[in-house]
Amino acid sequence: MFVTIVVAALLPLQAPPTAILDDHLEAGGTPTAPAPVEALRDEPPPPEPATTPPAPPPTTPPPSSPAPAPVVTRQDGFFDDGQPGHYLAWYGPEYVVSLALVGMYLGGVQDVVPIAPALIGPQLSLERMDTTTLLDSRLDDVIGKRYVREKVPTEALIAGAAVVILGTTGADLAATGDLHRTNALFLGGLEALMGTVLVTEVTKHAFGRLRPDFRARYINAACTGTITAPADLDCAQADLSFRVDEEELKDGMKSFMSGHSSSSFAMATWGSWWLASTLILDEDRPDWGPAVSTIGIGALYSLAGFSAASRLSDNKHHPEDVAVGAAVGTAIATSIWFVHFDTSGRARRRGWQADGLVSDVTVVPALGLGETGTGSGLAVVGRLP
């Protein structure tokens, strides 16, 4: 009896899980997964791990405003680029030399410089004239041509040179307003002219070549009393329709090279370079620029050619005198142009490092230096090309 009761009491505990699930569903419940065996045990839950309170966030000082950038104050000094002192230092000596040459030439210094004995052609002395050589018929084409008044006087050359130099300078200033180019054009043109004149006069005095009309000059000066005539000189056939003074007589011994040719071609070349750089080489040139420039260049060289040719027709020079003079004037003017301008026609700038890695380097006082932005000191200010 006792055994039966115990078995009956234990039967529910031996029921399969499916039977329990069926009973639960019949009662209107929802299926749940059976609890694991460990969950059926009557054990206390594991203790929760001790938690530490979170560390407070680090305190950072409030952001401060950034230090102000150093303030560099610069004032252009008297000798800085573009200032009067800069031009006095870098161009002043050239102005002094060029203007001194102008004054010496206009003052007639070249007329008192002794002339060396002729290196080309016959040698004759004004003090001890050899009349046999002077009147030799074989020298008729060398020194025996008639005296002719020159078609292009020296005053016309001076006026033409002034027109070219001042014309290019004024026109360029009106078109660009660039005073630096104005300085380069004026000083360069003056140097091209006076450099040519200097080389020409030195050559004339060194070579002492007699002009084609030297015989006529000498006989006229001797027969009119300008100089003492040799005893064996016959004045009966002398041409006395003109009068030669002593200065013009000495000028008859300065044939090589032609000053008219050298100076006129120098000015034609200078004006042509300006026209080409402005109306042909310039990227911003107008459409009509090349045509106008070509016409202008042609006109300049035509005038120079007329001046040179007139020296032959006026019996003032031999052909080689004119050819060499034209070549020398062209070469000098071209050389001076590239001293002041580059191959694109831009005016060059001069300075202590104008063409180096750094240009316009200057040490100036500066404010706002240091970590706090309140200091002061010196700063080196420069510009990379």
CA–CA distance from 188 to each of 123, 173, 181, 263 (Å)?
38, 15, 10, 14
| pLDDT for res 15 | 45
Q: How far apart are alpha carbons 95 and 186 in whole angstroms?
A: 10
Instruction: At 43, list the tokens.
Output: 């054990």
10 Å CB burial of residue 134 (0-12, 13-18, 19+) is buried
The continuous run of DSSP H or E covering 379 comes out as strand 375-383
Q: What is the pTM of this model?
A: 0.71
Q: Who has greater pLDDT, 161 or 362?
A: 161
The lowest-confidence range among 24-38, 65-79, 224-238, 316-330 is 24-38
On the question of a cis peptide bond just before residue 253, with omega within 30 degrees of 0, the verdict is: no
Q: At 17, which amino acid appears?
A: P
Q: What is the DSSP letter of 70?
A: P
Percent of the chain topping pLDDT 90: 56
Q: What one-character-per-residue DSSP string does 205-254 give? A: HHH-PPPTTHHHHHHHHHHTTSSPPPTT---TT---SS---HHHHHHTT-
8 Å CB contact between 248 and 226: no
Handedness of CA 36, 38, 43, 46 (dihedral sign): negative
How does pLDDT run across 100-132, given as a tens digit for each residue? 999 999 998 988 899 999 999 999 999 899 999
- Between helix 154-176 and helix 289-313 the angle, nearest 10°, is 170
pLDDT at 362 over 60: no
8 Å CB contact between 198 and 103: no
Helix (H, G, I), strand (E, B) or coil at 360: strand
φ, ψ (nearest 5 deg) of residue 104: -65, -40
8 Å CB contact between 264 and 332: no
- Between helix 154-176 and helix 179-207 the angle, nearest 10°, is 160
Q: Which residues contact residue 248 at a Cβ distance below 8 angstroms, ignoring those fewer than 6 apart?
A: 217
How does pLDDT run across 292-318, given as a tens digit for each residue? 999 999 999 999 999 999 999 999 999
pLDDT class of 1 with cuts at 50, 70, 90: very low
Quickly count: other Cβ atoms within 10 Å of residue 294's Cβ: 15
8 Å CB contact between 169 and 193: no
